[in-house]
Chain A
Amino acid sequence: GESVGLHLPTLSVQEGDNSIINCAYSNSASDYFIWYKQESGKGPQFIIDIRSNMDKRQGQRVTVLLNKTVKHLSLQIAATQPGDSAVYFCAEDNNNDMRFGAGTRLTVKP
């Protein structure tokens, strides 16, 4: 069936470096994609979203890139900080059916 997956389960970066978290999706009908951050013991927190009619969207220190040709989504975090350490999920939405990937754990080393 259709699924959302992540290329890497863990990512470790040095404080101040840029982080890139990748996500593959397989439902070509999905038209809305979201990145969430989940800190330990908390619910997922919205970071940034992008609709299928766009290929890039920027927020504060974060950028989401969407490549519909290869069904790939990425989250770029600039100047990664210790507070960015968390599990990051991508999610795809197709008409009320939002599916989440398993998540990537980002660890920021001081």
Chain B
Amino acid sequence: NAGVTQTPKFRILKIGQSMTLQCTQDMNHNYMYWYRQDPGMGLKLIYYSVGAGITDKGEVPNGYNVSRSTTEDFPLRLELAAPSQTSVYFCASSTRTYGYTFGSGTRLTVV
């Protein structure tokens, strides 16, 4: 099993540009999450999904959008990138009876 796969690993965006961070899992987990981690800080929940077709806002959803058309994929969309969105983004999945499995992260810089 590959677990949770995130692409790209690194990206530099200019202010106002848009991009999609990809996340896919092969564990058939219903629950998927997007977190951001700022330097020296813990993880903050952006959006989560309890199953295909269902998404909900987390703690810091502004400036982001998600979709969940399949169990495997949970892409995160950034529209009109801002410097405040410079961060490391982690996708995770779980079965809700066990701890989360995290991807290796996407390091995003907005300049």
- Which residues does chain A contribute within 8 Å of B90, judged by CB atoms? 43-44
Chain A contacts for B35, CB-based, 8 A: 100
| Docked complex: A22-37 residues within 8 A CB-CB of B | 34, 36
Q: Considering only CB atoms and an 8 Å cut-off, how many residues of chain A contact the other chain?
A: 19
Determine the distance from Cα of A41 to Cα of B25 in the docked complex, in whole angstroms. Answer: 20
Q: Are the CB atoms of A98 and B45 closer together than 8 Å?
A: yes
- Give the interface size bracket for B toward A: 20 to 34
Assess the A103–B42 pair: CB atoms within 8 A.
Answer: yes
Q: Quick one: closest B residue to A45, CB to CB?
A: B102
In the complex, residue of chain A having the shortest beta-carbon distance to the beta carbon of B4: A43
With most chain B CB atoms within 10 A of its CB, the pick from A42, A96, A99, A102 is: A96
Report the Cα distance A34→B101, complex, angstroms. 12
Q: By the criterion CB–CB under 8 Å, are A100 and B99 in contact?
A: no
Asked whether, in the complex, the Cβ of B42 is within 8 Å of the Cβ of A34, the reply is: no
A15–chain B nearest beta-carbon distance, Å? 25
Instruction: Tell me if B2 is interfacial: C-beta within 8 Å of chain A.
Output: no
Encoded as 1 (CB less than 8 Å from any A CB) or 0, chain B from 20 to 34 comes to 000000000001010
Q: Which of B40, B44, B96, B105 contacts A43 (CB 8 A)?
A: B105
Once bound together, how far apart are the Cα atoms of A42 and B6, in whole Å? Answer: 12
Contact string against A for B residues 62-105, beta-carbon threshold 8 Å, 1 for contact and 0 otherwise: 00000000000000000000000000001010001011111111
**A67-105, CB under 8 A of B: which get 1 and which 0?**
000000000000000000000010000001111111100
Interface check B43, CB cutoff 8 A:
yes
Judging by beta carbons under 8 Å apart, are A102 and B40 in contact?
A: yes
Given contacts A41-B105, A43-B103, A99-B45, 15 further A-B contacts (CB under 8 A): A34-B99, A36-B102, A43-B4, A43-B102, A44-B43, A46-B99, A46-B100, A46-B101, A89-B42, A96-B31, A96-B50, A96-B56, A96-B96, A98-B100, A102-B42
